[in-house]
């Protein structure tokens, strides 16, 4: 039975690396995969890239992409063994349900990788639905500078000062975000 998986973590936990490793494992065994990433992330158009240098080509989705129809069409041409979605926090609720339908009706395992919360500690819409309906939830671990598990994403400005307000989504990497434990996240926002 195919399942919908949600692998979630803070920044710098290796979500994209894990996705790329899973994709490699399927393909190494002669299986066919389909990789998706958010068009919103313009840093690497058409690629899933990890900080350690791994990358793979990916289809890009926007908030209007009908993932069910796009994936079922590809599956009809040549059967898919797995669908992998990077930046899953940017999925809409409807898209998450489309991915669940792929697992339930088309029998295709779907592995989603993304952030759980934003820089304010609030759930992303796609993550909220995934946390609610995924068959399996897997927390990947990142490490705070103190050595504790990092669960929060602190947004910083160009000078490294904490950002407390703004749009939920601002694309960036280590230049814009720090993975911190809740204690150090709270302390940074209180300063």
Instruction: Encode pLDDT of 127-177 as tens digits.
Output: 999 999 999 999 999 999 999 999 998 888 888 776 777 666 665 555 678
Q: Hey, what CATH topology would domain 4-141 get?
A: Rossmann fold (3.40.50)
Contacts of 52 (CB under 8 A, 6+ apart): 14, 17
Instruction: Encode pLDDT of 75-121 as tens digits.
Output: 999 999 999 999 999 999 999 999 999 999 999 999 999 999 988 88
Where is pLDDT greater, at 63 or 48? 63
**At residue 152, what are phi and psi to the nearest 5 degrees?**
-120, 155
pTM: 0.90
Which one of 55, 57, 77, 87 is the catalytic residue? 87
Active site residue 87: yes
Contacts of 170 (CB under 8 A, 6+ apart): 119, 155, 176
Residue 45 pLDDT class (50, 70, 90 cuts): confident
The CB density around residue 133, as the number of other CB atoms within 10 Å, is 14
pLDDT the model gives residue 157: 81
Domain boundaries along the sequence of the chain:
4-141
Q: What is the distance between the alpha carbons of residues 3 and 161, in angstroms, rounded to a whole number?
A: 41
In terms of Cβ atoms closer than 10 Å to its own Cβ (0-12, 13-18, 19+), residue 13 is buried
pLDDT the model gives residue 48: 79
């Amino acid at each position: 039975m195919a399942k919908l998986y949600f692998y979630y973590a803070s920044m710098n936990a290796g979500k994209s690396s894990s996705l790329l490793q899973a994709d490699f494992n399927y393909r190494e065994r002669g299986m066919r995969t389909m990789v998706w990433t958010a068009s919103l992330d313009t840093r690497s158009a058409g690629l899933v890239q990890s900080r350690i240098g791994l990358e793979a080509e990916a289809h890009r989705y926007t908030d209007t992409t009908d993932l069910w129809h796009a994936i079922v069409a590809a599956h009809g041409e040549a059967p898919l063994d797995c669908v992998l979605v990077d930046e899953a926090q940017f999925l809409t609720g409807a898209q998450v349900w489309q991915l669940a339908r792929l697992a339930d009706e088309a029998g295709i395992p779907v592995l989603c990788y993304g952030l759980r919360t934003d820089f304010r500690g609030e759930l992303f819409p796609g993550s909220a639905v995934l946390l609610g309906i995924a068959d399996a939830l897997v927390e990947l671990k990142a490490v705070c500078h103190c050595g504790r598990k990092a669960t929060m994403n602190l947004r910083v400005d160009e000078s490294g000062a904490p950002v407390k307000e703004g749009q939920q989504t601002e694309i960036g990497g280590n230049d814009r975000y720090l993975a911190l434990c809740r204690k150090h996240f709270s302390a940074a926002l209180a300063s």
